Amino acid sequence: DATREWWRLEGKMCLISVLSIFTSVLLPLFGLGQVANDLHPAIAWFDQMNSELKQLNHEAAQYAWEASTLPTQSSAATVEKIGQLTVRKAHWERTMCGRGEQHRDFNASLGRALQLLCRSWVNTDDEMRQMTELLGFMQTIYTGTQICVDESYDACDGNQVLWEKTHFKYPQFEENEVQDLKTKENKETGKICLFGEPDMEQIMTKATIHQFSKQSDCKINESDILKWAWHSWRMAVGPPIKQTYGKLIHLMNNGARRVGFQDAGDSWREELEMPNLRATVHRLWQEVKPLYQKFHAVIRHFLRKRYPEIKDFDRLGLIPAHILGDMWSQNWETYAASIVPHEVDIEHNFKRMNWTGRQLVKRAEDFYSSTGLPMMTKQFWEKSVFKRGANVTKCHGTAANMYEEGDFRMIVCAGSTSSDFYVVMHEMGHIMYYMLASDQPTIFQDGTNSAFQESIGDTIHLASMSPLHLTRLGLLNSSYLKPEVDNTLNSFDYALLMKTALVKIPALPFAYIMDRYRWDLFEGSANFEEDANRYFWYLLESEQGIKPPLNTDRTHLFDAAAKYHFPDNTPYVRYFLANILSFQLLEGLCRKSIYGSVDSPYQLPMPLHRCDLYGSKRVGRVLKKALAPGGSQRWTTVLKALTGTEEISVDSMVRYFEPLTKYLDKIIEQQGIPVGW
């Protein structure tokens, strides 16, 4: 009795497993099985809930893995299984929450478990089946649609012929599903067929744009090819996904409102456990927007010179979205070397190393494990997917917790590029969080919130791109570590900072817009039927400073669906917050590595981007301590453990890019570049 009272008062979750072993193993040996009935009902409920949740999560993870790695035709049965599981789990949650409510005040840990378990929407069985079908359809459209071009096309044919020789190849569906789309399916040979990720995406980065030139003497009109890739992908996936998304909004809102949320967006925001999240995100964006506007101004100035043939591209105007080097205009890295040229080309050096996907993952593992964090498991290496194969239709980076001991997996169609290295480091951050929290009860194994889940890998990736670690990877000669500018930096530092900035800074407005847009659709302040695409472009123009490359009516299109997370129905503001958090965490870990305290008042002895965390056991220990509790602790507790403060702030990001910002200010002043649009 004294032991149970101590558990109730102190909330020591580890005692649950001790009591379980005592009850199931030792008591029967002594003929004292009846004592098990004396366990407090709250403890019994907690044990049962976690045991059953683990099995349900394992089933869901297995089905999700099958849906990602089986051919489209084979995954239809999996989608049906997911639908059945969704209904079954919803019934289970309602039953378990009803039984557990009486124990909410038993202690803080059990109260938190109930909070995490019982915040799901409540949809009818029919609504859940409909939602599963709609989501399955949207995801299949996104991952399975191909843009096909006749092999006979050549740059000499011109842009109009390119469009004439373009066909959309859609995945197979059951009868009565999008019949108007099936008529366009191309089954002929002699065509080049490209998936959205990574094929069309690589055209946008100009990595594979040469395939349109063949052996002819005609010069590729780069702008026209990019415009074709940008627009054809949106034409292919937008309209069919729009057919279903309006229905999904209605069903999601129904479920959210039944449990007291104003709408589905309100429910999404609650997961992050940040009061006044909309106001917080808006404030953070306004604080960092001036920095974004400087990069926007310099890129616009550069692109107007690069593409003089583009009309209606004003020095104070919006940037045409197709020329920013990315399918979604959120990553401008491809222009870094042109704006800050340097004899060291990191991208070229990545290609020169010619690492396979597995080798790239090994290098990521080396960085994490150097700090004392665990190595990847045997199951990880046996079951992960590191390249697109015949049975892999989904190439979007994915980290999976299979809810079985040691079974963590990754999907990444990786080659030897810096962007692939980022994806690998990012996904391994998820897996590391899963591994560290795996000793927690099942309900707490997902991490403190989704923004923190996304930030860990981003933080370690920033650290892995320090000049010193680039020399370890063989990507940089150590001579470039020597200061040569103002006795603190090498000219390479500016090139590296620009490369990082053009990945991180443009991602902020895009991430801000993606969920602001959906929140407004959910609450009805933006009319889905009439203004879905018009409102999306209003946000892109006003906040991101970009415009569509074609002056055509886009009302019937649904351009937001061109991004994976939209048909996957994944909230996106987590990436906005994670982007900012990653710099804040990097600074805290850097202080821990050097001074032994995350909130040391002493100034760092080097610029933040030069901080080297490789091999720092201090960093590994503080990460283990902060992340091992998983979701049992609120995000503010974890943030304080890693930074010394409970407030999310853009200050570390601003400090990280401060040397480059001063460099940009000089360029803007010297060349009279206007800022803003």
Write out the binding residues for chloride. Answer: 574
Q: How far apart are CA 525 and CA 262, in angstroms?
A: 13
Which token pair is 350? 């990545």
Q: How far apart are CA 43 and CA 49, in angstroms?
A: 10
Q: How far apart are CA 15 and CA 144, in angstroms?
A: 48
CB within 8 A of 215, min separation 6: which ones? none
Residue with tokens 């590729």: 220
8 Å CB contact between 202 and 212: no
Which residues are annotated binding-site positions for Zn(2+)? 426, 430, 454
Which residues are annotated binding-site positions? 426, 430, 454, 574
Residue with tokens 């191909």: 146
Secondary structure of residue 162 in the 3-state scheme: helix
Q: What are the phi and psi torsion angles at 308 (to 5°)?
A: -65, -20
Please give the DSSP secondary-structure letter assigned to residue 106: S
Q: How far apart are CA 21 and CA 453, in angstroms?
A: 32
Q: What are the phi and psi torsion angles at 557 (to 5°)?
A: -90, 175
Which of 146, 115, 163, 5 minimizes the C-alpha distance to 443? 115
- What string of DSSP letters covers 423-445? HHHHHHHHHHHHHHTTTS-GGGT
Which of the following is catalytic: 197, 333, 365, 427? Answer: 427
Handedness of CA 552, 520, 569, 85 (dihedral sign): negative
Q: How far apart are CA 409 and CA 407, in angstroms?
A: 7
8 Å CB contact between 295 and 664: yes
| 410 bridge partner residues | 399
Please give the DSSP secondary-structure letter assigned to residue 22: I
Q: How far apart are CA 114 and CA 98, in angstroms?
A: 10
- What string of DSSP letters covers 527-573? -HHHHHHHHHHHHIIIII-EE-SS-S--TT--GGGGSTTTTTT---H
The residue type at 153 = Y
Q: Is 427 a catalytic residue?
A: yes
Q: What are the phi and psi torsion angles at 143 (to 5°)?
A: -80, -25
Q: How far apart are CA 545 and CA 509, in angstroms?
A: 9
Q: What is the rounded end-to-end Cα distance, in angstroms, of the chain?
A: 70
Q: Is 587 a catalytic residue?
A: no
Q: How far apart are CA 538 and CA 528, in angstroms?
A: 14
- What string of DSSP letters covers 329-353? S---GGGHHHHS--S--HHHHHHHH
Q: How far apart are CA 375 and CA 377, in angstroms?
A: 6
Q: How far apart are CA 424 and CA 416, in angstroms?
A: 11
Residues 351-366, buried b or exposed e (16+ Cβ, 10 A)?
A: eeeebebeebbebbbe
8 Å CB contact between 316 and 676: yes
Catalytically annotated residues: 427, 565
